[in-house]
Amino acid sequence: MNIKTREHHIAELDVQGALLERRIESLTQELENVQRVLRENRRQRAACTPLHTLPDDILKLILEAAYEHTLEEGCSDSNALAITHVDRHLRNVALSAPRLWRCIHAGMWSGALFKLLLSRTGNLPLRVVLRFPVAQLSRAFKNERYRVQLTYLLALFAHRMEYLSVKINSYLPDLRQRSYPLLDTLVLESAPGLWDGERLYYMPKCPKLKTFAITAVPISFEGAILPSLESLSISDVDIHLDYLRNVVTACPNVTTLHMNAVAITYSPGETVVFSHLEALHLGRVHGPDAYLDWIVAPALSSLTIFACNLRSRGVSTRDPDGLRSFPTVRTLVLKLAQTPDADRFDGNLFQYVPNATTLEVRRCSESAESLLEHLATAEFSSLPTLQTVVVTGAVEKSEVLLRIVKGCIARERPLKELQLGDATREAMEPDILEALKDHLSVTAPRKRMMIHLRATAPQ
Local confidence band at 285 (pLDDT 50, 70, 90 cut-offs): confident
Indicate the pLDDT class of residue 428, thresholds 50, 70 and 90.
confident
Asked whether the beta carbons of 94 and 121 are under 8 A apart, the reply is no
Residue 91, CA distances (Å) to 38, 60, 97, 123 in order: 22, 11, 10, 20
Q: State residue 132's pLDDT score.
A: 60
Choose between 83 and 329: higher pLDDT: 329
pLDDT of residue 314: 47
CA distances for 188 relative to 211, 219, 228, angstroms: 11, 9, 18
Query: Given a cut of 70, is residue 352 above it in pLDDT?
Result: yes
**Core vs surface per residue 187-210: b (16+ CB within 10 A) or e:** bbbbeeeebeeeeebebbebeebe
Of 9-23, 232-246, 310-324, 415-429, the range with the lowest mean pLDDT is 310-324
Q: Who wins on pLDDT, 308 or 41? A: 41
Top-ranked range on mean pLDDT: pick from 124-128, 317-321, 391-395: 124-128
| Confidence (pLDDT) at 183 | 93
User: Are residues 345 and 376 in contact, defined by beta-carbon separation less than 8 angstroms?
Assistant: no
Cα–Cα dist 348/367, whole Å? 14
Which percentage of the chain shows pLDDT scores above 70? 72
Share the mean pLDDT of the chain.
77
pTM equals 0.77
Angle between helices 145-157 and 111-119 (to 10 degrees): 20
Provide the residue type at 402 as one letter: L
Q: What is the mean pLDDT of residues 371-384?
A: 73
pLDDT for 328 equals 93
Closest Cα to residue 132, out of 190, 79, 186? 190
Residues in the chain, total: 459
Among the residue ranges 45-49, 219-223, 325-329, 338-342, the one predicted with the least confidence is 338-342
**Pairing of β 450-455 and β 440-443:** antiparallel
Q: Alpha carbon of 150 to those of 58, 108, 115, 243, 411: distances in Å?
A: 35, 13, 12, 27, 61
Across 250-254, 299-303, 381-385, least confident range: 381-385
- Give me the pLDDT at residue 316, please: 43
Taking Cα atoms as reference points, which of 336, 294, 297 lies closest to residue 315? 294
Residue 169 has a pLDDT of 60
Element spanning 440, H or E: strand 440-443
Please state the rounded mean pLDDT for residues 443-451: 53
Cα–Cα distance measured from residue 456 to residue 459, given in angstroms and rounded to the nearest whole number: 9
Strands 417-421 and 388-392: parallel
pLDDT(85) > 60: yes
Q: Do 243 and 219 meet the contact criterion of CB atoms below 8 Å apart? A: no
* Highest mean predicted confidence (pLDDT) among 44-48, 58-62, 102-106: 58-62
Which has the closest alpha carbon to 440: 388, 391, 396, 392?
388
pLDDT band with cut points at 50, 70 and 90 for residue 212: very high
Name the more confident of 102 and 208.
208
The CATH class of the 387-459 domain is: alpha beta
User: Are 186 and 206 a contacting pair, CB within 8 Å?
Assistant: yes
Alpha-carbon distance 444 to 442, whole Å?
A: 7
Q: Please tell me which of 164-178, 332-346, 381-395 the model is most confident about, judged by mean pLDDT.
A: 381-395
